[in-house]
Amino acid sequence: MAEIPLAARLFAKFMAALLCLFGGAVVAVDMLASRVAVDSYVDTLAERLESEAHSLARTEALAGGRLAQQQLVHLAGALGARITLVAPDGRVLADSEADPAQMENHRTRPEVASALNGRPGRSVRKSPTVGSSFLYVAVPSPHGAVRLAAPLERIEARSQAVRGRVLAAIALAFLPFVALSAWLARRIATRMAAVMEMGAELARGNFTVRLPEAGGGELRAFIRHLNQTGEKLQKLVEDLEREHAELERLERVRRDFVVNVSHELRTPVASIQGYAETLLDGALEDPRHNRRFLQVIRQNAERLGRLTQDLLALTQLEWKTRRFEFASYRLAALLDEAVETIRPIAAKKNVSVERAEIPEHWEVFCDAAAVHQIMANLLDNAVKFSPEGGMVEVSARLERDAGHVVVCVRDQGPGIPAADLPRIFERFYRVDKARSRELGGTGLGLAIVKHLVQAHGGRIWVESEPGRGAAFFFTLPLEDPGLAAEGDLHREFTVM
């Protein structure tokens, strides 16, 4: 069986409550109306009977206390009431409808008792003789009491008629009332159902639901608060998701880093261990191998030293704990110093390193040691990947409007495939891992260079095509772009 919609259920409940309330009110009004009607009719009838009873008492007095049965029946017919004459001791002297000899003493009837005491009395009760309700009125007379009794049937019929009219009037008023209540109940039920359904959605964890802020009053304010709550929760969830993703990314970076470092350490350590054991096992006495083995041990120890140095440098840059000493330097001098340092190594490979002509007066604002480190890394790569007899060229161009110079280190090596270009500055990233390791590289050089350039507020990029060499570019500021200011030393750099 299909479930009845929430709005319809709420509507039914509202209407049931309203109808119960209204039903209760109708019953109360009906009871009150019939009671008031009966009371007022009984009062009027009682007053009429009392005045008739007084006249009758006077007639009885005139007749010397004796009224013929026939006369009594005639008078009762004219009055539309039963007449009973009672002696001071309560005995029935005459009755228009029964034989007095057969009737019991009336002394204890409340209206008769009151009349015999000198005060008119009245009473409403069921007649044991006839079986229906009667109004009894008795007044004192010189010969005891005169009592008149009239049936209440007609009064009851009249009061029923009044009740009918009252109920008809209520029903008429009820129709628009029901229509208005139904309209209002439907409106409230629909809105409340929407609010409750939204609450359920929020509880289910769906924070994207919103309700239109229609209508007015408290419900509108409540819907607004509910919407605001939804918005806040949604933002909170999004923030948490973002933070969670970032934490996951950082965790991945950390795990990769640890894996890479341990991997890089393993090879030289294993090599040192292996050759040391071979030497101890007897090779030390073998003049053909001992020197070569020791050289391998030294090379690997140097590699370990370089690796730890690079890691330390990178960590200092990433944690921004490295202090720089910025000042203005002549660019030509800085570049020459780097070129001279690499030349002897390049010469071993028959690679020439040249500096293009640049004006002597160009000055850059930098940390000289950092620029030396940048150039040393780029030149080291260029020479390392150059073929025998190749040429490495260092050049620079001025971009005064941008406030910097662009330094370029270009080689004639194998170049870098396009797919690798975007990742070349990541730590431990190498195009050909095996070959780079063979050449003594750990893949940290360019990551360090990138951080150093960024510490100068600069940018680094590479242009290369496989087989056509590679050109690395980086910028250096002409003047202090605010680097000397304390805060700027600790700007945020991208962590690779």
Ligand X SMILES: Nc1ncnc2c1ncn2[C@@H]1O[C@H](COP(=O)(O)OP(=O)(O)OP(=O)(O)O)[C@@H](O)[C@H]1O
Pairing of strands 82-86, 404-410: unpaired
Q: How far apart are CB 494 and ligand X at their closest, in Å? A: 15
457 binds, among ligand X, Mg ion, none (CB under 5 to 8 A by kind): none
382 binds, among ligand X, Mg ion, none (CB under 5 to 8 A by kind): ligand X
411 binds, among ligand X, Mg ion, none (CB under 5 to 8 A by kind): ligand X
Q: How far apart are CB 364 and ligand X at their closest, in Å? A: 22
Query: Measured on CA atoms in the order 172, 173, 179, 182, is the torsion positive or negative?
Result: negative
123 binds, among Mg ion, ligand X, none (CB under 5 to 8 A by kind): none
Report the residue count for the chain: 496
Stretch that binds Mg ion, among 69-77, 224-232, 437-445, 457-465 (CB under 5 A): 437-445
Q: How far apart are CB 473 and Mg ion at their closest, in Å? A: 16
443 binds, among Mg ion, ligand X, none (CB under 5 to 8 A by kind): ligand X
Q: How far apart are CB 324 and ligand X at their closest, in Å? A: 21
Q: How far apart are CB 445 and Mg ion at their closest, in Å? A: 3
Among 268, 445, 458, 469, binds Mg ion (CB under 5 A): 445
- C-alpha 416/C-alpha 230 separation (Å) is 51
The binding track of 357-396 with respect to Mg ion, each residue x by CB under 5 A or -, is ------------------------x---------------
Whose CB is nearest to ligand X? 445
Residue 10 or 452 having the CB closest to ligand X = 452
Q: How far apart are the first and last CA of the chain?
A: 60
Tell me which residues in 170-229 interact with Mg ion (CB under 5 A).
none
Query: 312 is written with which tokens?
Result: 């330390």
DSSP letters along 39-62, please?
Answer: HHHHHHHHHHHHHHHHHHHHHHHH
Q: How far apart are CB 245 and ligand X at their closest, in Å? A: 27
Residue 219 or 301 having the CB closest to ligand X = 301
Residue 430 or 456 having the CB closest to ligand X = 430
Using CA atoms, how far residue 43 sits from 38, 81, 448, in Å, is: 8, 16, 115
Residue 145 or 462 having the CB closest to Mg ion = 462
140 binds, among ligand X, Mg ion, none (CB under 5 to 8 A by kind): none
Tell me which residues in 457-476 interact with ligand X (CB under 6 A).
470
Residue 328 zone, left/alpha/beta (φ > 0; ψ -120 to 50; rest): beta
Residue 134 or 474 having the CB closest to ligand X = 474
Radius of gyration (C-alpha) of the chain in whole angstroms: 59
# residues near Mg ion by CB under 5 A: 2
Q: How far apart are CB 451 and ligand X at their closest, in Å? A: 12
Query: 22 is written with which tokens?
Result: 């209204």
Long-range contacts of 259-263 (CB under 8 A, 24+ apart): 260/427, 260/428, 261/311
Residue 140 or 445 having the CB closest to Mg ion = 445
- C-alpha 476/C-alpha 364 separation (Å) is 6
How open is the CA angle 6-8-14, to the nearest 5 degrees?
Answer: 105
The binding track of 409-448 with respect to ligand X, each residue x by CB under 6 A or -, is --x-xx-x-------x----xxxx---x----xxxxxx--
SS (H, E, C) 68-95: CHHHHHHHHHHHCCEEEEECCCCCEEEE
- C-alpha 231/C-alpha 226 separation (Å) is 9
- C-alpha 447/C-alpha 427 separation (Å) is 5
- C-alpha 394/C-alpha 371 separation (Å) is 13
The number of CA neighbours under 13 Å toward the Cβ of 262 is: 5
Q: How far apart are CB 384 and Mg ion at their closest, in Å? A: 7
Using CA atoms, how far residue 383 sits from 107, 431, 488, in Å, is: 145, 16, 34
Residue 85 or 394 having the CB closest to ligand X = 394
Is the distance from CB of 67 to CB of 94 less than 8 angstroms?
yes
Query: 245 is written with which tokens?
Result: 């993703």
Amino acid at 225: H
Residue 229 zone, left/alpha/beta (φ > 0; ψ -120 to 50; rest): alpha
Q: Distance of alpha carbon 463 from its chain centroid, rounded?
A: 50
431 binds, among Mg ion, ligand X, none (CB under 5 to 8 A by kind): ligand X
Residue 220 or 459 having the CB closest to ligand X = 459
Residue 79 or 431 having the CB closest to ligand X = 431
Residue 114 or 381 having the CB closest to Mg ion = 381
Residue 381 as a binder of ligand X (CB under 6 A): the answer is yes
Q: How far apart are CB 377 and Mg ion at their closest, in Å? A: 5
Number of Cβ atoms within 10 Å of the Cβ of 149: 25
Residue 198 or 470 having the CB closest to Mg ion = 470
# residues near ligand X by CB under 6 A: 22
Is the distance from CB of 326 to CB of 364 less than 8 angstroms?
no
Residue 41 or 472 having the CB closest to ligand X = 472
385 binds, among Mg ion, ligand X, none (CB under 5 to 8 A by kind): ligand X
148 binds, among ligand X, Mg ion, none (CB under 5 to 8 A by kind): none
Query: Which stretches of the chain bind ligand X, using CB under 6 A?
Result: 310, 377, 381-382, 385, 411, 413-414, 416, 424, 429-432, 436, 441-446, 470
List residues binding Mg ion (CB under 5 A): 381, 445
